[in-house]
């Protein structure tokens, strides 16, 4: 699959993989900062953003998509930042193509399976009949009645655009709803990557509990764990400066060897 991406800067390649219902655009501010040091590729994963829609949404497929992207752009070894679903994609990719990964940063996700917990979000989006609205303010007012918190609504509304004169979701809502169990899929126990890894978690998030850290080391024996104390699951958006500083320290240390 030919993935869409926005590029920033020049230098060694740094790939950014967004989370579920997001897109590379969510990372534009940080990508511009990274672009002062790297050639940044903000990638839209399949069924998201401006990349193609497909009924299959699995991590092995997304890892293959990423390898095709590297081939198409003649990229050698790359650094990768992956958040949530993007972090899981990055783990599968590093396990399948270790020769292509210089360093791996996984943001607030572990290699284990996660139960489906997006049901209320999917129901709220399906109940929002976007084609009925003429103005974006009408969409926002209707979505405010969904029961979702304001931060979640604002995040999701970033993926609304006009298609043939009507509002639509940029992501493949129906396809993702059908494949939502795949989003929580675990990395196989036998898979892994022994290169440098940083697992960066939000101190207010429960996605990567301390007592499960040995499971990370089973798959990623050279992994380190760091925490941004006052951030939750969307740590790159909630604490962009600490996220940037810690990720830059990790990625630039590869150039000091």
Catalytic residues: 84, 174, 233
Question: Exposure of 112 by Cβ count < 10 A (0-12 exposed, 13-18 middle, 19+ buried)?
Answer: middle
Beta bridge partners of residue 105, listed in sequence order? 81, 198
Task: Provide the total of helices (H) and of strands (E) in the chain, helices listed first.
Answer: 11, 9
Tell me which DSSP letter residue 164 carries. T
Q: What count of Cα atoms within 13 Å lies in the side-chain half-sphere of residue 10?
A: 0
Contact in structure between 244 and 33 (CB atoms under 8 Å):
yes
Structure tokens at 38: 């790297």
Q: Report CA torsion sign: 33, 253, 99, 75.
A: positive
Contact in structure between 66 and 96 (CB atoms under 8 Å):
no
- The 3-class secondary structure across 167-186, one letter per residue, is EEECCCHHHHHHCHHHHCCC
Contact in structure between 66 and 3 (CB atoms under 8 Å):
yes
């Amino acid at each position: 699959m030919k993935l869409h991406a926005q590029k920033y800067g020049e230098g060694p390649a740094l790939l950014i993989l967004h989370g579920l219902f997001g897109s590379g655009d969510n990372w534009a501010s940080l990508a511009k900062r990274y672009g002062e040091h790297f050639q940044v590729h903000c990638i839209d994963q399949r069924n998201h953003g401006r990349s193609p829609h497909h009924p299959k949404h699995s991590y092995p497929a997304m890892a293959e998509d990423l390898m095709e992207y590297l081939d198409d752009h003649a990229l050698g070894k790359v650094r990768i930042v992956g958040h949530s679903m993007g972090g899981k994609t990055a783990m599968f990719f590093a396990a399948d193509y270790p020769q292509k990964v210089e360093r791996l940063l996984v943001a607030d996700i572990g290699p284990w399976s996660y139960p489906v917990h997006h049901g209320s979000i999917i129901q709220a989006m399906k109940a929002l009949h976007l084609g009925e609205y003429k103005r974006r303010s009408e969409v926002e007012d209707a979505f405010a009645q969904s029961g979702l918190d304001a931060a979640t609504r604002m995040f999701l509304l970033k993926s609304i655009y006009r298609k043939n004169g009507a509002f639509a979701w940029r992501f493949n809502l129906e396809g993702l709803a059908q494949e939502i169990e795949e989003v929580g899929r675990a990395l196989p126990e036998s898979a892994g990557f022994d290169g440098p890894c940083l697992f960066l978690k939000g101190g207010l998030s429960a996605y990567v509990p301390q007592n499960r850290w040995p499971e990370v080391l089973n798959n990623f024996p050279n992994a380190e764990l760091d925490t941004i104390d006052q951030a939750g699951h969307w740590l790159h958006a909630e604490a962009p400066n600490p996220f940037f500083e810690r990720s830059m320290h990790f990625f630039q240390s590869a150039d000091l060897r």
